[in-house]
Structure 1
């Protein structure tokens, strides 16, 4: 705003300077000689001051127009009977009329117009040679010098107000559309949250309760079954925790519990649940751990969760190798597990969606993802790499 105000002020000064030079030059060239006396000097200096006032604030436009009109009346009175060229302000009258029409409200603008038209008429009626003039040309000249600039100023103001109204209406329309989208999103999020709470949360809770009841009802001497049921309980509790976080996010809660997402720090818990389920796992880390962007940390955890779930569901039960490498410009996570007898049918739909989700997560960060069997045909590997800024 300060730069715009400064630019407008400089432009106003430039306009005033051009008017000053033009009017003073015309007065000195074709006006009365300065040797006529102090009257000629008063008119010249008055014209200079009136044109300098054009550089002033717009709120004084009415007074500036009145000054120009007064000078138009005073000049022929002071210079009488000289009647050749009496206007010490010609270009200045045009600009003063425009400013009055553009910047003033209706009543002050009309008053300023009346002052300038009065001055222009006086400048025509007072000189000694007024009888030799064609009044039709006089009226046309007054209309061009006084009325037309004022009308252009009024038109400019009306057009500026019209454009501002259009812009305001467009901004309101955009705000209303954005608000409608926000309401629709909020309603959809509420619907999803309600479905998650009423349907999925109920079933997951029931799974945990029944698994716990079955574990407690097992006879002694069933360690494998107890471990499996404990794993089901742990997994159901973890699923419920994730569901609660999702529900909080869908409801727009900004508390810490809703925003806290699991990351690589929770990888050991994930592996413990995997071991409880009967699948051995070994984590190997290379390079010194470094602080990761939160989004990358969460993505790595979710990818590991998906890959380990697939290993539990589709693997042969051998040890799962998790290799985490912190490098200078990237972090690489590789999960390798033994696979059972090849499935001659198409992969399960859930598996295909899980692998597609892994690739999409990695693609969001411009990384690389490899998912598939190794050359020996007995192992499956998921390998992802995320670029990092060099430390």
Structure 2
């Protein structure tokens, strides 16, 4: 706002300066300054004052217009007996009329117009040469007073109309954005409700039945007991992830935080509890990564470990390499012998590929000897 006000002030000053130069030059070159004596200097000084007033605040536009009208009358009163009568504010009176029409309310603007009409009309009558021709006087009044005033009123009305259109468009955009936001929230609520109704009850039932079956077994170590314990642990982890997703869909702020690389240890503990040996190696300096990329890396590791537990036959190695310009995640598991991946694995790999592509990274996966490897790399901004 301060820059706009300064720009308007500079522009008003420039307009006033141009009017002053034009009026003073015209009066000096064509006016009766040498013959008029002190009268000529009075008119010239008045022109300097009223033209300089054009740089003033908009609220004084009516008084400035009255000053120009007064000078238009004073010039013939003081100079009409001198040769080569010329008024001292030919350019300034036009700008004063425009300002009065553009910057004043209807009442003060009409009063200013009336004052200018009276001043211009009286000046033409007293100036000689046009007093005997009413048509010329009317034309001069229209050109010097009415026309600039009308242009000012038109400019203000057009600016107000454009401002109304822009305001309506902005309100329409805001309403549309609010409608879209409400629709997204409603859709997220629907998805959250469906997830809760369709998935959470079944996952909870799996955990409850697994716990009941484990408690029903004889005490002591048993592969079946360990497997049921792994099922319980996996169901609890699934419910925790599901609650985080539901919180995210419900937009509950900080509680909606999704798991990231800091949660890898919990993920690996769950996988180990299911009977799959996993080793984690981390290389490079610890660097903070964007939150969305942090979640993507966790989900890729989760999907790769899930595939390894389903289709692998041996230990799994998870390697995280934090480099200066990229971060690389590799999951390698033994498969015993080369074999095509099942449909579930293909769907999981497609999800991994989509996540990597979203961040402009690269992903490779495939069989090499008796190992299957998934390797994803993501570019990082250099600090």
TM over 0.5: yes
State which of 316, 333, 336 in structure 2 corresponds to 1:337.
333
**Corresponding pairs, count:** 383
Equivalent positions of 1:1-391 (< 5 A) are: 1-82=1-82, 84-131=84-131, 133-220=132-219, 223-255=222-254, 257-259=255-257, 261-316=258-313, 318-339=314-335, 347-348=342-343, 350-374=344-368, 376=369, 378-389=370-381
Structure 1: gaps spanning 5 or more residues? none
Q: Offset of 1:33 from its aligned partner? A: 3.2
Provide Cα deviations, 1:100-146, integer angstroms capped at 9, x if missing partner: 11111111111111111101110122245455x43222211221111
Q: Structure 1 368/155 Cα, relative in aligned 2: closer, same or farther at 3 Å?
A: same
Contact 2:30 2:86 in 1 (8 A): no
Q: Offset of 1:19 from its aligned partner? A: 1.2
Q: Please, which moves more after superposition, 231-240 or 329-338?
A: 329-338
What is the alpha-carbon distance in structure 2 between the residues aligned to residue 287 and residue 21 of structure 1? 72
What is the alpha-carbon distance in structure 2 between the residues aligned to residue 109 and residue 31 of structure 1? 31
Q: Structure 1 264/21 Cα, relative in aligned 2: closer, same or farther at 3 Å?
A: closer
Structure 2: gaps spanning 5 or more residues? none
What is the alpha-carbon distance in structure 1 between the residues aligned to residue 253 and residue 296 of structure 2? 20
Question: How big is the alpha-carbon RMSD for the aligned residues of Structure 1 and Structure 2?
Answer: 2.1
Give TM-score scaled by structure 2 length. Answer: 0.93
Contact 1:34 1:41 in 2 (8 A): no
Contact 1:27 1:85 in 2 (8 A): no
What is the alpha-carbon distance in structure 1 between the residues aligned to residue 250 and residue 277 of structure 2? 38
Give TM-score scaled by structure 1 length. Answer: 0.91
Q: Please, which moves more after superposition, 87-96 or 353-362?
A: 353-362
Provide Cα deviations, 1:366-386, integer angstroms capped at 9, x if missing partner: 222111111x2x221111122
- SS of the counterpart of 2:376? strand
What is the alpha-carbon distance in structure 2 between the residues aligned to residue 324 and residue 130 of structure 1? 96
Contact 1:83 1:128 in 2 (8 A): no
Q: Offset of 1:242 from its aligned partner? A: 1.0
What is the alpha-carbon distance in structure 2 between the residues aligned to residue 287 and residue 80 of structure 1? 95
Q: Structure 1 248/86 Cα, relative in aligned 2: closer, same or farther at 3 Å?
A: same
Q: Offset of 1:21 from its aligned partner? A: 1.6
Q: Offset of 1:341 from its aligned partner? A: 6.2
Provide Cα deviations, 1:276-335, integer angstroms capped at 9, x if missing partner: 22222222333444444333332222111100100111122x111222233333332221
Q: Offset of 1:153 from its aligned partner? A: 0.6
What is the alpha-carbon distance in structure 2 between the residues aligned to residue 156 and residue 322 of structure 1? 71
